[in-house]
Amino acid sequence: MMEVDVITLFPTMFSALDYGVVGRAQDSQRLKLSIYALRNYTENPSNRVDDRPYGGGPGMILQYEPLEKAIQAALSASSTPSTLLYLSPQGAPLSQSTIKHLAQQPRLTLLCGRYEGIDERIIDRFVDQELSVGDYIVSGGELPAMLLIDAVTRMLPGVLGHEQSAVQDSFSEGLLDHPHYTRPRQINQQTVPSVLLSGNHEAITRWRQQQALGKTWQKRPDLLKRRSLTAEEKRLLDQYIKNSLDQ
């Protein structure tokens, strides 16, 4: 079982994780989520958690003290050693390989920032890894934290059924997925590629591998530059590129 603690100003947002794959992982005790409402760790009469930035400028900063109290409460609630993560645009970009590494940890503690961010001294003292969900700005760390929890939960043993190996394949091999089709066979002029109806499983596997390589070449050439191709993969991609020239 993996333990995940979340420290947030908006605890009710995490009810989004009661659905689908992550909801079932919680029901089957493969994921134990503990949500800490930052507002409960204030000691001032007005329950303030933020203050103005030293040096001036717009917006507010989450203060050190309530964050420290919430972190200490979370860490002392279980004896399992935890990796403390802070979600922010200054973090290392989240990748499937980072997700797989995180899924092997016994416990994660996620800090969700709001406003302009958190007092840097929290990062210096407590944060093991600062992670980003992408080069854009969202209103708080809650949605990024939920993305991370979802992606990590899918990698926990027993969470996905038979689809697990296939699902792992598409991105962990560093390629985009191949196209998918289901009934009906024809919609107006659009038909399903005949190989998928052939019953020839080797030909289907080869076609899917070729489509994955070709789509990656067309849409995400950056991914191909990071990955070496086998002789067979080179042959499949060359053929895809040749065919894409006449169509």
Please tell me the distance from the alpha carbon of residue 76 to that of residue 198, in angstroms, as a whole number: 59
Of residues 66 and 144, the one with the C-beta less far from ligand 4HQ: 144
Cα 151-153-155 angle, rounded to 5 deg: 80
Return the range that interacts with ligand 4HQ (CB under 6 A); candidates 43-51, 77-85, 86-94, 187-195: 86-94
Q: Does 129 bind ligand 4HQ (CB under 6 A)?
A: no
The binder of ligand 4HQ chosen from 36, 141, 207, 233 (CB under 6 A)? 141
The residue ranges of DSSP E strands in the chain, in sequence order, are 2-8, 31-37, 50-51, 61-62, 83-93, 107-111, 129-132, 186-187, 190-191
- How far apart are CB 117 and ligand 4HQ at their closest, in Å? 4
Binding positions for ligand 4HQ, 208-247, rule CB under 6 A? none
Block residue for tokens 């980003």: 132
Q: How many C-beta neighbours within 10 Å does residue 142 have?
A: 23
Number of residues located near ligand 4HQ, criterion CB under 6 A: 15
Q: How many C-beta neighbours within 10 Å does residue 108 have?
A: 22
Q: Which of 67, 70, 36, 31 is nearest to 149 (CA)?
A: 31
The binder of ligand 4HQ chosen from 77, 138, 187, 241 (CB under 6 A)? 138
Please tell me the distance from the alpha carbon of residue 22 to that of residue 24, in angstroms, as a whole number: 5
- How far apart are CB 119 and ligand 4HQ at their closest, in Å? 12
Q: Does 66 bind ligand 4HQ (CB under 6 A)?
A: no
- How far apart are CB 88 and ligand 4HQ at their closest, in Å? 4
Q: Which of 119, 24, 18, 114 is nearest to 65 (CA)?
A: 119
Q: Among the options 89, 150, 177, 220, which is catalytic?
A: 89
Of residues 20 and 59, the one with the C-beta less far from ligand 4HQ: 59
Return the range that interacts with ligand 4HQ (CB under 6 A); candidates 38-46, 101-109, 134-142, 215-223: 134-142
What are the helix (H) ranges across the chain? 20-27, 64-76, 96-103, 120-126, 142-154, 163-172, 201-219, 221-225, 231-246
Q: Among the options 51, 65, 68, 116, which is catalytic?
A: 116
Q: Which residues are catalytic?
A: 89, 116, 154, 169
Residues that bind ligand 4HQ (CB under 6 A): 87-89, 113-114, 117, 132-134, 136-138, 140-141, 144
